A and B are shown apart, each in its own frame.
Chain A
Amino acid sequence: MTDTTTTTTSVNSDATQIGGRDLMIEMSGVDKFFGSFQALTSIDMRVGTGEVVVVIGPSGSGKSTLIRCLNRLEHHDRGRIVVDGVELTDDVRNIALIRRETGMVFQQFNLFPHITVIDNITLGPRQVLKMPKKQAEDRAMELLERVKIPEQARKFPGQLSGGQQQRVAIARSLAMQPKIMLFDEPTSALDPEMISEVLDVILELSQTGMTLIVVTHEMGFAREAADRVIFMADGEIVEVGEPEHFFTNPREERTQLFLSQIL
C-alpha cells in the first residue's frame, strides 16, 4: 500500500488527468524482449478511467504483448507501468492487486473445460473474493443473463459454440468486478456469424463506464466503440487518434499502408 501513495504523489497533479478523465493506466518507456527480439519499444500510453481504447496493427506488431504486460502475464524489461495507482513490480502483492482489478478475455477463450459454465464464472469470486457460494451463483446468473445465455449455465464449455464460449469468458471476467477489461483479439477465433454476438456484448460494456482496452481487427467495431484508436507496428505505437480522424485522415505513412491493406 505504501507503493500506492508514493506513486500517486510522484506524478504531478495535472498529469493525473487525461482528456478530463482520471488516469487509470500509465505506461512510460516500456521495453519488452523475447530473448534478443524486441517486442515492445519505448511504449508510452495513458488511458483514462472509462475510456475505450482500441489497439490495431499488423500481426506481430506487439498488440497482444502490450496488453499482456498490463496484468503481468508478460513482465516488461524496462520502463514503468502503473495501473490504478499501483505500480507493476516483482512484488507479488501488487500483481495480485492489479489482477483483481483487471479482467482479461483471450482469443482462444481459455475457459476451464473440466468444470461447468457456472463454475467457471464463480471460481474467481469464490476463491479470490471468498464470496459465499449462493451469492456467487446468483451473480453469475445475472452475468449470464447479461451476455444472453442463462440457459447454458449447467453445461460444460465444450458443449457451447465459439461465440457462446467467448461470452462466458466475458462473464467470467466480469464476475470479479474489475475496473479494467482487456480484450486480446476476442473475435479472431470465431466463425464469422458469431462475431457480432460477441462484439455486441463488448459494445454494451463500453457504455457502462468501464475502462476497456480492445485488441482487434474489427475496424467497424473500432470506429463505433472506440474513444481512441492506437495503431502499432514493429513493437512501437505509431499513431494515436480519435476514430473518425484516424480512419479518414491518418497522418503516418505506415498507418495509411495498413488501412489501405485491410479496408
Chain B
Amino acid sequence: MTATAPPPETRPQGDPSRLPPEMRFSPSNWLRKNLFNNWYNTLITVVAVVVGAILLFYGGRFIFVTGQWEAVRKNLTLLMMGVYPRNEQWRLVAQMYLVASALGLAWGTVTARSHDRAEETGVVAQRATPRDLLRRYWSILLLLAVILVFTRTIWPTLFTLSTIAVGLAVRAGAMRLPPSSRRICGYAAAFMAIVSFQVVSGASGSAWWWTSALFALAAFQLTSARDLTKYLGTTMNWPIFGRTRLVTARDLVRLKRFAQILAVVAAVVVVRIAYWLIGDTSSVSWDDWSGLYLTLVASGAAIILSFPLALLLAVGRRSSLPAIRWLCVSYIELFRGVPFIVLLFVAKIFIDFFLNIDTPLSLTTRTIIVFTIFSSAYLAEVVRGGLQAVPRGQIEAGQAVGLQPPAVMRLIVLPQALRAVIPAMVGQFISLYKDSTLFTFISVVEFYRARELIHSQQEFTTTAIAETLVFVAFAYWAISYTMSKESQRLERHLGVGER
C-alpha cells in the first residue's frame, strides 16, 4: 500500500546542486553517456546512423520523386468506396454529415456531463488544446491530408472540412442544452447513426425494423421516466369510472404500463408509415458497401457488437451453473479453433442453408456476423483474464456490503477487470481491424481487395504495384496507430488514483 507522498516543498526543486547527478543535462553529455560510451556502442551508433540515412534517402526518393502515384490518384474513389454505385455517391456524403452530427451530439453531451461532474466534485478537468488533439490524431490527420492531396477536384476537401465544421457546431450546441435533455440527445444520436446507414443501404427490406426498435425503446424509456400525476392530477374524475376518487398507486402502475404500451405501439406504427411513405429505394443495398468504407464499417460493427457478447461469454464461463458454463466454453473453443477464412466461407455458402429463410441476408451482413462471432470468442478470453485478475477480497467486500451477485459483477468486478485488460483488448481490436483483409477471399471488396482491383485494370497490370501497396499499408497503419494511442490515453485517464 502506498503511503501519502511527502509534501512537494520538501522535494529538491530548481537548485541544480541538489538534483541527482543524472539530471544535470547537456546534449554533449547525453551523447557521450548513451551513444559513445565504449567502442561497441560507438560502432552500433555509427552503423545505425548510416543505415537510417540510407533508408531515409531511398524512402524519401520513392515517395517524392520516383513513385508513380497516378495509380492511386486515378483510383482513389475505388479505394475509398469500392464499387458503390457512382451516381449514388450523395448517399455517402449525406451519411458523413449525419454521422458527424451524431458524433458531435454524443461528444457534446458526454463533455457537458463530465463538466457537471467536475464542478460537483471540485476536480477540474483539463481542457484539450488543439496541440493535444494534433498529437493524438496526427496519423489520421496525415492520412486525411494524403487522401485529399490525391483528389483532383476541390469538392472532397470542402466536404471534409464542412463535415468537421458540422460536427463541432453540433457539439457546441449540445453542450449548451439543459441536463434534462441529455437522454433525448443520446437517442437522437443513435437515431441519426442508424438512419445514416439506411441512407447508404437504401431503406428497403427489413431496415425499418431497426429504426422502429430504437424508437420504441426511446418511447418506452421516456414514458417510464415521467411522473404521470403531473398530467393527471391526484384525483380521477373520468366519466368512464363513474365517480371521483383518489388515484391509488395501483392505478398509477396500470396507467404507466398502458402509456408505455401505447408509446411503443405508436413508435412502431409511425416508423412503419414513414418508411412506407419513403417507399422502396432498392437502387443501392448493403452489398454495395466496399473499399475503405466497408473495412471501417465492418470492423467498427464487429468491435461494437462483439464487446457485449464477449462480456456475456466471459462472465458465463465463470458461472456456477454447469449448463451456462458448458455452453460458453463450447462457443469459445469452437470459434477459436476454426480459422477465420473457414468461417468466412461458411458465411458465404452455408448460413442461408442453416437459417432456411426465403430472403437471404446480404453477404455484407453475413460477413459482419461471422466477424463478430469470431472476435467475440477471442475477446471473451481476454476479458476472462481480467476477471481473474480481480482479487477475491473485492468480491467478498461487495457481498459484505450487501450487493447481490449481478451488482457485484457490474459495479465492482467488471470495471476493474476491463481496465486491467484495455491494452490486450485494444490489441485484439487492432488485429480484428486488419483481419478484415481476409474478406478478399470471399470476394467482398474491402480496402485491400479494392487495391487488387486497380491492378486488374489494363493500365496498371504490372506498374505501380509498390505504390498502391504503400498507400494501403499507410492507411491501415494510420488508423491502427490512432487506436493504439487512444488506448494508452484511456489507460492513463482511468488509472488516475489507482493503487
Contact = CB atoms under 8 A, between A and B. Distances in A.
Interface string B387-407: 000010110111111111001
A99 B399 contact: yes
Contact of B403 (A110, A114, A127, A160): A127
Contacts of A191: 3
B402 A114 contact: no
Interface stretch (B23-31, B176-184, B411-419): B411-419
Contacts of A103: 400
A127 B497 contact: no
B249 interface: no
Interface string B2-26: 1110000000000000000000000
A187 B391 CA distance: 20
Contacts of B400: 71, 73, 99, 102-104, 106, 173
Contact of B123 (A104, A113, A154): A154
Contacts of A114: 415-416, 419, 494, 498
B411 A123 contact: yes
B246 interface: no
A161 interface: yes
A127 B398 CA distance: 11
A111 interface: yes
Interface string A77-119: 0000000000000000000100110111010101111101000
A128 interface: yes
Contacts of A256: none
B496 interface: yes
A232 B324 CA distance: 41
B402 A159 contact: no
A128 B402 contact: yes
Contacts of A251: none
A156 B396 contact: no
Interface string B256-276: 000000000000000000000
B131 interface: no
Nearest to A74: B396
Given A154-B121, A155-B497, A156-B498, A124 B396 contact: no
Interface in A156-183: 156-162, 165, 172-173, 176
Contact of B399 (A73, A116, A161): A73
B1 interface: yes
Interface string B463-474: 000000000000
Query: Which interface class (under 10, 10 to 19, 20 to 34, 35 or more) fits A?
Result: 35 or more
Given A73-B396, A108-B393, A155-B497, A99 B419 contact: no
A161 B2 CA distance: 6
B393 A110 contact: yes
Contacts of A108: 393
Contacts of B402: 96, 99-100, 124, 128, 176
A84 B1 CA distance: 36
A114 B386 CA distance: 14
A158 B497 contact: yes
A194 B128 CA distance: 41
A110 B411 contact: no
Most chain-B CB neighbours within 10 Å: which of A102, A114, A156, A160?
Answer: A114
A108 B397 CA distance: 10
Contact of B393 (A106, A127, A156, A165): A106
A159 B497 contact: yes
B401 A113 contact: no
Nearest to A118: B121
Interface string B413-435: 00110010000000000000000
A111 B391 CA distance: 11
Contacts of A155: 497
Given A106-B393, A110-B396, A158-B499, A127 B2 contact: no
Contact of B397 (A72, A110, A154): A110
B82 to A, nearest CB: 43
Contacts of B401: 99, 123-124, 128, 172-173, 176
A209 B121 CA distance: 35
Nearest to A172: B401
Interface string A209-226: 000000000000000000
A96 B408 CA distance: 13
B498 A158 contact: yes
A110 B397 CA distance: 6
Contacts of B407: 127
A262 to B, nearest CB: 25
Most chain-B CB neighbours within 10 Å: which of A110, A124, A159, A172?
Answer: A110
A230 B121 CA distance: 45
B239 interface: no
B122 interface: yes
Interface string B232-249: 000000000000000000
A165 B499 CA distance: 12
Given A155-B497, A156-B498, A158-B498, 7 more contacts: A96-B404, A99-B402, A104-B396, A114-B415, A124-B401, A127-B407, A176-B401
Closest 3 CB pairs of A and B: A156-B497, A110-B397, A124-B401
